[in-house]
Amino acid sequence: MGVGGAGLPGRGASLAAAAGAAWLAVEGLPELLGHYLHAGVVARGAGDGRPRAALTFDDGPDPASTPRFLEALDRLGVPATFFMVGRRAAREPALVREVLAAGHTIGNHTWSHRHAWTLGPAATLREIEDAAALLEDLGGRPVRFLRPPWGAFNWAVWLGAARTRARIVLWSAVGDDWKARATPASIVRRVRQGLRPGAIVLLHDAGGAQGAPERTLAALPELVARMRQAGFALLSLEQLLGAEAAPAGGGLPSPAGGGGDAGGSRP
């Protein structure tokens, strides 16, 4: 017989409950707040109901695939946002500058793309701040957007965003383009399922299953054509979110903004 309280079922149950509560506070709660409830997170441009959307490409830069995405986007006349992994960007400084020179926006996808649940607070801040410093150094301009890998959260993700002066941006439409079973047609279909005014579309210019970037590339012309047929303007995140950041203050209540009178006669 063990001595670990096996004779006291009540104590065992309360220990399990305590462990569950600890997990909830340490990992579950930030995940719930950030990933699902979007507290302090932008998942879609609020906009004014106008059909506008932003394409975002994660996990690059990759010297094999990213230049081909630049060519395709140039042919289509679409500005996009690339959420870059710091350690990849460090190996491809010229490619990072090329992305910016082509008129696209760059976002921070952390230094080494580790899941937030595997990182303590200090490591989380390093992952965010090191990538921000490198990308800002390479690009010579602020990096205003942060996307934690897998959209996963711990408490330090918000702190890292604040310290790097970035907005946390997730997505509202997915192509599921990193999966092995994705096809160009399935990518177009999945994105269209999530398409709403202000949509932020998650795609990848690198990584994923074998051949994944090829399939995303092949999907792009059809995807862009379908979105435009539906009346959507395709913008960078800067353009999609920039305009609404000014009046709304990014969700922070402003002392002067309280008199919006949306409710009419309430005091």
Q: To the nearest whole angstrom, how small is the minimum distance from the Cβ of residue 215 to Zn ion?
A: 17
To the nearest 10°, report the CA torsion of 109, 178, 100, 233.
Answer: -110
CB of 59 to Zn ion, least distance (A): 4
Considering the complex, state which of residue 150 and residue 155 has its C-beta at the smaller distance from Zn ion.
150
CA distance 62 to 205: 8
Q: Which CB atom, from 63 or from 231, has the smaller least distance to Zn ion?
A: 63
Min dist CB 256 to Zn ion, Å, is 38
Nearer to Zn ion, 58 or 92 (CB): 58
Binding positions for Zn ion, rule: CB under 5 A:
58-59, 149
User: Whose Cβ is closer to Zn ion: residue 149's or residue 242's?
Assistant: 149
**Shortest separation between residue 41's beta carbon and Zn ion, angstroms:** 16
Beta-ladder partners of 174: 202
Known catalytic residues are 58, 204
Residue with smallest beta-carbon separation from Zn ion? 58
